[in-house]
Amino acid sequence: MIRVAVLTISDSTSKGQREDRSGPAVREQVEQRGWIVTMTAVLPDERNAIASRLIGLTGAEAPDVILTTGGTGVALRDVTPEATRSVLEREIPGLGELIRSEGRKSTPYAVLSRGIAGTRGRSLIVNLPGSPQGAVESIEAIADLIPHIVDLLHGKTEHSALLKRTPQ
């Protein structure tokens, strides 16, 4: 069973000025896949707060996956990728590339997302866009890869038949 933490990054939501729609959309999407959401939280767009929470989550009893939503754009307060990069042990550029590539099919603005992905300890951390639709579409883009990544992080290094391609 894949255990997931969901962090919404938003100044206005953390202040109670706006309803969190992205976090619940992400939660619903991962629960539909049979994954278990072990915690949710809302944080302001503050680099140190985001980095500290990511470090804290990846300690003992770490979830398999940490999904952040929000703070990935080009606005001055969007610092989620920088905070995430500061705590990653290994970056996985292909996940962010795949998310943007698939997102481009729905909106030209998908390429403006600077979200990244990588690992810290045995946890996969993925930055998702802040819009509910963008966040859900991003999960859909990479969801089939996540179980394999989690297996690898837990020492199960056999390649899944699902991911093997047959020669054409």
- List, as one string, the DSSP characters of 60-113: TT--SEEEEES--SSSTT--HHHHHHTT-SEE-HHHHHHHHHHHTTT-GGGGG-
**Mean pLDDT, range 16-29, rounded to an integer:** 97
Q: Is residue 168 part of a domain?
A: no
* Structural domain span for residue 51: 3-160
Structure tokens at 64: 């398999």
Q: Is residue 68 part of a domain?
A: yes
pLDDT value at residue 117: 98
Q: Is residue 59 part of a domain?
A: yes
What is this structure's pTM? Answer: 0.93
Q: Is residue 138 part of a domain?
A: yes
pLDDT value at residue 162: 55
Of 100, 85, 37, nearest in space to 65 by CA: 37
Q: Is residue 31 part of a domain?
A: yes
Q: Is residue 165 part of a domain?
A: no
Q: What is the pLDDT of residues 72-121, one digit of tens each?
A: 999 999 999 999 999 999 999 999 999 999 999 999 999 999 999 999 99
- CATH number, domain with residue 50: 3.40.980.10
Residue bearing tokens 């999407």? 29
Q: What is the pLDDT of residues 120-132, one digit of tens each?
A: 999 999 999 999 9
Of 155, 167, 98, nearest in space to 128 by CA: 98
Close Cβ partners of 70 (under 8 Å, ≥ 6 residues apart): 8, 9, 10, 13, 22, 45, 80, 128, 129, 130
Close Cβ partners of 60 (under 8 Å, ≥ 6 residues apart): none
Q: How many domains does the chain have?
A: 1
Q: Is residue 167 part of a domain?
A: no
pLDDT value at residue 121: 97
Does residue 168 surpass a pLDDT of 80? Answer: no
Q: Is residue 77 part of a domain?
A: yes
